[in-house]
């Protein structure tokens, strides 16, 4: 492979992907229209590298592509059987860790976790379901916080800090007890400054934060992933459909 | 300690009862001469929907509680929808939203009634109650009455297509919102549904004529089989017309006199109470003013056809009059007449669908109303199997704090037990037990078209096990039925 200094690129699954200085492998791939599975990455927010779905293999090592800086020497593998098997296990763990009741969930069809499960041919939970007891927070007039669905991706945490300049959310607890906290004296969402128009209220990939009066308004066939896979549609919120 | 009155008795258990929706079992206590001492219809599954929806936001209710059932989910979807309309402070829907809900409900009732008649009940009615067990299935109906069976399948399919058009799915769709609906129909969808509706009306009428003929072919037997006379309860609209979606409660006494009329269902807690018995997960509702012993009543197609003053579709109304005229009694009580009444309703649904499909409101975008939030909501609807009550309370944060469901089958619980007892005494008592003989009991239960999954708010296997136990609990004989090995006697 020859290196073109003016138009640098790296190899992703054998295909050349151009990048610009400072871009990560994830950013360059998405810009080029190549999809790498992910849940905690958002192009407008700082990369987090926590969900590990975007793992790729390069130089016999696994990297989170959302934090791996692109360079012209990279030969990256993403769509391999071994990596997708790992991704599937990650998604299965996310499912069994929470209480994801897809059949009646308002976010079904819009949910990126559900769409990722379809993408990775997940047919069952594989691991033991933990059925955790998680506190729900209905204290906010416009927004329902359903911690059963939360995957601790911290997109809302980052959106509130980086985009809304509010710091409404944080993660508390440790290990399996890790949970989303509302940063108010009472710990209730209703006592924070979260507004229904905030980015933080409109970024959750799994419907843990739901806008009350929007529930079930969108028919199933009009939902983001009703007919199109997440690898073709990308990680989109309902309002971001063209 | 053993009940002295039950010493030296044998117990026969039919577990589960088949060709009904859900899981139940029948136990018979027999003495040494095979005389019936006691007969009970037990519901053995526990589900607990009323508890696990506590804490959920109320707008989830129509989506969650419809999962009670795969046969009549639309009924629960709509009953919960009516209840959450009240929670959202909406007392009157927009006309297009109400018409869509009514159309949805007719589609649901049509498919459910077709399922029951063709798939579950017709083998008994066509081949005889004590016919060979290998014959009593939809497969034999397809083999010997191919045209009838295929029409049955198509009628059911049509009802499901109506449901799919409105909710997006044939089972467990998503359409009802607090205060309205989430979509209208398109002209293309209506055009599509219009193509087959004439055939559906004709085929449903053929089935109705058939069930009428079968019932009248041995009227002496059919009028006394499993008889359990009681009051009837159902909704009727304000002028007494049959209405499956909305209205006031009408209760007719067994003699045909009216006990209550246009009773506001929001006050149902002053009218009906539920009694719990240790041997069944299904409760026993009764009219408070009459107490648990005599206050039981029946619901469902037979109640509705007996209770209403008219049906507002031409053919169904003429068959209703014919139905009432065949009997000399003020009301038609025999449980087997449920089948006849059910098909009158199916015809009504098909006719009503045809009429509604001409209404341009179905394509209107005026689908939502808003109101002032209330903390309590009660939705009542005539589900295929009878009057269905959904009652919810919420807190200031919109979370469900209380849920009470009285499903149709529950209301028929005592009546089904009475019918089981009557059939056991008449047909089983004193005879050697065979699967054909025991089917008489199942025929009685099937007439009510019970949905036991709904009634316990069950999933699992469907084998049949009959055990004969002596007075000290030893198994003296055992029969079993499974899809793999058929019927075996040990």
DSSP string, chain A: ----SSS-EEEETTEEEE--TT-BHHHHHHHTT-----SS--TTS-----S-TTEEEETTEEEETTTSBP-TT-EEB-S-HHHHHHHHHHHHHHHHHTT--GGG-TTTTT-HHHHHHHHTT--S--SPP-------B--SSSEEE-GGG-----HHHHIIIIISS---EEEES-GGG-EEEE-SSS--GGGS---TTSGGGG--SSSSEEEGGGTTTS-GGGSTTSSS-HHHH-S--GGG--
Q: Beta strands B297-298 and B231-236: pairing type?
A: parallel
The pLDDT tens digits of the residues spanning A90-134 come to 999 999 999 999 988 999 999 999 999 999 999 999 999 999 999
Q: What angle do CA B425, B431, B435 make, to 5 degrees?
A: 95
Q: Which residues of B390-429 are buried (b: 16+ CB within 10 A; e: fewer)?
A: bbbbbeebbbbeebebbbbbbbbbbbbbbbbbbbbeebbb
* Residues in Cβ contact with B358 at an 8 Å cutoff, skipping those fewer than 6 apart: none
The torsion of the CA quartet B424, B426, B430, B432, rounded to 10 degrees, works out to -60
Closest among A59, A58, A61, A60 to A25, alpha carbons compared: A58
pLDDT > 70? residue A234: yes
DSSP B185: P
- Name every chain A residue with its beta carbon within 8 A of the beta carbon of B400: none
For residue A187, give both structure tokens. 């710990």
Look at residue B394 and give its three-state secondary structure.
strand
User: How distant, in Å, are the alpha carbons of A219, B179, B396, B432, B442 from that of A213?
Assistant: 14, 11, 15, 63, 47
Q: Is B104 exposed, middle or buried (0-12, 13-18, 19+ CB in 10 A)?
A: buried
Closest among B222, B159, B218, B152 to B193, alpha carbons compared: B159
Lowest-pLDDT range of B14-23, B27-36, B80-89, B214-223: B14-23
- E-only strand ranges, B123-171: none
DSSP B68: G
Q: Can you tell me which residue has the tokens 């359409």? A: B175
The pLDDT tens digits of the residues spanning A157-198 come to 999 999 999 999 999 999 989 999 999 999 999 999 999 999
Q: What is the pLDDT of residue A140?
A: 97
* Residues in Cβ contact with B116 at an 8 Å cutoff, skipping those fewer than 6 apart: B342, B384, B449
- Name every chain A residue with its beta carbon within 8 A of the beta carbon of B55: 136
For residue B410, give both structure tokens. 């529950």
Looking at CATH, the fold of the domain delimited by B49-228+306-405 is given as Cytochrome-c3 Hydrogenase; chain B (1.10.645)
Q: Kindly report, as residue ranges, where domains of CATH 1.10.645.10 are found in chain B.
A: 49-228+306-405
Work out the minimum CA distance from B182 to partner chain A, whole angstroms: 5
For residue B264, give both structure tokens. 């506001």
pLDDT band, residue A89 (cuts 50/70/90)? very high
Rg, C-alpha atoms of chain B: 22
| Rounded CA separation B126/B122 (Å) | 6
Is the preceding peptide bond at A208 cis, omega within 30 degrees of 0?
no
Residue in chain A closest to B88 (alpha carbons) equals: A213
Closest among A148, A146, A152 to A211, alpha carbons compared: A146
pLDDT band, residue B31 (cuts 50/70/90)? confident
For residue A168, give both structure tokens. 């409404």
Lowest-pLDDT range of A153-162, A233-242, B293-302: A233-242
Residue in chain A closest to B394 (alpha carbons) equals: A138
pLDDT band, residue B481 (cuts 50/70/90)? very low
> Does residue A7 sit at the B interface (CB-CB below 8 Å)?
no
* Residues in Cβ contact with A122 at an 8 Å cutoff, skipping those fewer than 6 apart: A88, A91, A92, A95
For residue B290, give both structure tokens. 């009459």
Contact yes or no for B175 and A221 at CB 8 A? no
For chain B, give the mean pLDDT: 86
Alpha helix ranges (H) inside B219-311: 219-224, 291-294, 301-307
- For an interface test with B, the pick among A138, A188, A222 (most B C-beta atoms closer than 10 Å) comes out as A138
Q: Is B141 exposed, middle or buried (0-12, 13-18, 19+ CB in 10 A)?
A: buried
- Name every chain B residue with its beta carbon within 8 A of the beta carbon of A103: 67, 172
Closest among B184, B198, B222 to B366, alpha carbons compared: B184
Closest among B191, B184, B189 to B363, alpha carbons compared: B184
* Residues in Cβ contact with A165 at an 8 Å cutoff, skipping those fewer than 6 apart: none
- For an interface test with B, the pick among A109, A219, A226 (most B C-beta atoms closer than 10 Å) comes out as A219
Q: Check: CB of residue A127 under 8 Å from CB of residue A96.
A: yes
pLDDT band, residue B459 (cuts 50/70/90)? very low
- E-only strand ranges, B384-447: 386-394, 400-406
For residue B375, give both structure tokens. 């903390």
pLDDT band, residue B33 (cuts 50/70/90)? confident
| Segment (H or E) for B443 | helix B435-447
Closest among A59, A14, A56, A62 to A36, alpha carbons compared: A56
Work out the minimum CA distance from B349 to partner chain A, whole angstroms: 25
- Name every chain B residue with its beta carbon within 8 A of the beta carbon of A217: 177, 182
Contact yes or no for A215 and B60 at CB 8 A? yes
| Rounded CA separation B145/B129 (Å) | 17
For residue B480, give both structure tokens. 């079993």
- Name every chain B residue with its beta carbon within 8 A of the beta carbon of A188: none
Task: Return the number of CB contacts < 8 Å for A and B.
Answer: 43
The pLDDT tens digits of the residues spanning B426-439 come to 877 777 777 777 78
- For an interface test with B, the pick among A108, A109, A215 (most B C-beta atoms closer than 10 Å) comes out as A215
Q: Check: CB of residue A201 under 8 Å from CB of residue A211.
A: yes
Work out the minimum CA distance from A139 to partner chain B, whole angstroms: 6
Work out the minimum CA distance from A148 to partner chain B, whole angstroms: 11
- Name every chain A residue with its beta carbon within 8 A of the beta carbon of B398: 138, 144, 212
For residue B178, give both structure tokens. 């607090």
Residue in chain A closest to B400 (alpha carbons) equals: A138
- For an interface test with B, the pick among A99, A104, A218, A226 (most B C-beta atoms closer than 10 Å) comes out as A104
Q: What are phi and psi of B320, to 5 degrees?
A: -65, -45
Q: What is the pLDDT of residue A104?
A: 87
Residues 180-209 of B with CB under 8 A from A: 182-183
ipTM: 0.88
Q: Which of B60, B67, B183 sits opposite A219 (nearest CB)?
A: B183
Lowest-pLDDT range of A2-6, B299-303, B396-400: A2-6
Q: What is the pLDDT of residue B430?
A: 72
- What mean pLDDT do residues A39-57 have? 96
- What mean pLDDT do residues A35-53 have? 96
| Segment (H or E) for B176 | strand B176-177
**Structural domains in chain A, sorted by start:** 9-79 (3.10.20.740), 101-230 (3.30.70.20)
- Name every chain B residue with its beta carbon within 8 A of the beta carbon of A216: 59, 63, 174, 177, 182
Rg, C-alpha atoms of chain A: 19
Contact yes or no for B182 and A217 at CB 8 A? yes
- Name every chain A residue with its beta carbon within 8 A of the beta carbon of B399: 136, 138
Lowest-pLDDT range of A49-63, A86-100, A180-194, B108-122: B108-122
Contact yes or no for B60 and A103 at CB 8 A? no
Q: What is the pLDDT of residue B141?
A: 83
pLDDT > 50? residue B458: no
Taking the CB of residue B147, how many other CB atoms lie within 10 A of it? 10
Q: Check: CB of residue B423 under 8 Å from CB of residue B440.
A: yes
* Residues in Cβ contact with B359 at an 8 Å cutoff, skipping those fewer than 6 apart: B99
Q: Check: CB of residue B78 under 8 Å from CB of residue B176.
A: yes
The pLDDT tens digits of the residues spanning B189-234 come to 999 999 999 999 999 999 999 999 999 999 999 999 988 899 999 9
pLDDT > 50? residue B464: no
pLDDT > 70? residue B2: no
For chain A, give the mean pLDDT: 94
Q: Check: CB of residue B376 under 8 Å from CB of residue B86.
A: yes
The pLDDT tens digits of the residues spanning B135-176 come to 777 788 888 889 999 999 999 999 999 999 999 999 999 999
Q: What is the largest CA-CA distance in chain A?
A: 60
| Rounded CA separation B249/B268 (Å) | 9
pLDDT > 80? residue A52: yes
- For an interface test with A, the pick among B57, B180, B186 (most A C-beta atoms closer than 10 Å) comes out as B57
For residue A50, give both structure tokens. 């926590």
């Amino acid at each position: 492979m020859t290196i073109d200094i003016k138009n640098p690129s790296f190899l992703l699954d054998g295909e050349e992907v151009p990048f610009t200085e400072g871009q990560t492998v994830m950013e360059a791939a998405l810009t080029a229209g190549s999809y790498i599975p992910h849940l905690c990455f958002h192009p407008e927010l700082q990369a987090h590298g926590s969900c590990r779905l975007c793992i790729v293999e390069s130089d016999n090592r696994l990297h989170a592509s959302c934090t791996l800086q692109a360079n012209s020497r990279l030969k990256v593998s993403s769509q391999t059987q071994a990596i997708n098997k790992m991704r599937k296990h990650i998604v299965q763990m996310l499912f069994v860790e929470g209480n994801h009741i897809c059949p009646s969930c308002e976010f079904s069809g819009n949910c990126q976790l559900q769409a990722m499960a379809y993408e990775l041919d997940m047919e069952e939970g594989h691991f033991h379901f933990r059925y955790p007891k998680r506190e729900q927070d209905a204290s906010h007039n416009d927004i329902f916080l359903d911690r059963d669905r939360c995957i601790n991706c911290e997109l809302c945490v980052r959106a509130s800090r980086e985009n809304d300049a509010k710091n409404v959310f944080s993660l508390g607890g440790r290990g399996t007890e890790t949970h989303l906290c509302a940063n108010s004296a009472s710990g209730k969402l209703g006592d924070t400054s979260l507004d229904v128009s905030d980015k933080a209220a409109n970024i959750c990939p799994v419907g843990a934060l739901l806008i009350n009066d929007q529930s079930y308004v969108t028919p199933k066939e009009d939902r983001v992933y009703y007919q199109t896979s997440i690898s073709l549609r990308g990680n989109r919120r309902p309002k971001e459909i063209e | 300690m053993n009940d002295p009155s039950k010493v030296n008795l044998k117990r026969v258990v039919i577990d589960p009862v088949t060709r009904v929706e859900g899981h139940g079992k029948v136990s018979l206590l027999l003495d040494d001469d095979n005389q019936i001492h006691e007969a009970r219809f037990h519901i053995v599954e526990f589900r607990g929907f009323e508890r696990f929806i506590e804490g959920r936001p109320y707008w989830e209710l129509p989506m969650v509680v419809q999962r009670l059932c795969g046969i009549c989910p639309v009924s629960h979807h709509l009953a919960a929808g009516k209840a959450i309309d009240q929670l959202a402070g909406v007392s009157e829907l927009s006309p297009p939203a109400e018409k869509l809900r009514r159309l949805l409900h007719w589609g649901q009732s049509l498919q459910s009634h077709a399922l029951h008649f063709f798939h579950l009940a017709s083998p008994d009615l066509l081949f005889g109650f004590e016919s060979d067990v290998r014959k009593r299935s939809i497969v034999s109906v397809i083999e010997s009455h191919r045209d009838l069976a295929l029409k049955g399948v198509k009628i059911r399919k049509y009802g499901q297509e109506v449901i799919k058009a409105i909710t997006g799915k044939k089972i467990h769709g998503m359409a009802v919102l607090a205060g309205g609906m989430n979509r209208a129909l398109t002209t293309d969808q209506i055009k599509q549904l219009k193509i087959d509706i004439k055939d559906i009306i004709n085929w449903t009428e053929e089935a109705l004529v058939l069930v009428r003929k079968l019932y009248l072919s041995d009227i002496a037997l059919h009028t006394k089989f499993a008889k359990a006379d009681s009051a009837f309860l159902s909704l009727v609209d304000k002028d007494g017309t049959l209405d499956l979606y909305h209205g006031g409660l009408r209760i007719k006494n067994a003699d045909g006199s009216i006990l209550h009329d246009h009773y506001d269902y929001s006050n149902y807690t002053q009218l009906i109470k539920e009694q719990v018995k240790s041997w069944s997960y299904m409760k026993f509702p009764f009219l408070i003013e009459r107490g648990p012993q005599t206050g039981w009543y029946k619901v469902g197609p037979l109640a509705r056809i007996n209770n209403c003053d008219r049906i507002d579709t031409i053919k169904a109304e003429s068959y209703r009059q014919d139905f009432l005229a065949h009997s000399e009694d003020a009301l038609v009580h025999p449980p087997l007449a449920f089948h006849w009444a059910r098909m009158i309703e199916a015809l009504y649904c098909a006719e009503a669908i045809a009429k509604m499909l001409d209404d341009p409101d179905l394509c209107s975008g005026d689908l939502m109303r808003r109101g002032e939030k209330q903390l309590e909501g009660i939705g009542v609807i005539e589900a295929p199997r009878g009057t269905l009550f959904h009652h919810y309370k919420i807190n200031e944060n919109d979370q469900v704090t209380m849920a009470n469901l009285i499903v149709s089958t529950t209301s028929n619980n005592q009546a089904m037990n009475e019918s089981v007892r009557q059939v056991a005494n008449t047909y089983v008592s004193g005879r050697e037990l065979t699967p054909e003989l025991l089917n008489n009991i199942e025929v009685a239960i099937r007439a009510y078209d019970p949905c036991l999954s709904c009634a316990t708010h069950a999933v699992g296997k469907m084998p049949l096990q009959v055990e004969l136990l002596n007075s000290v609990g030893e198994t003296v004989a055992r029969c079993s039925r499974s899809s793999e090995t058929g019927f075996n006697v040990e």
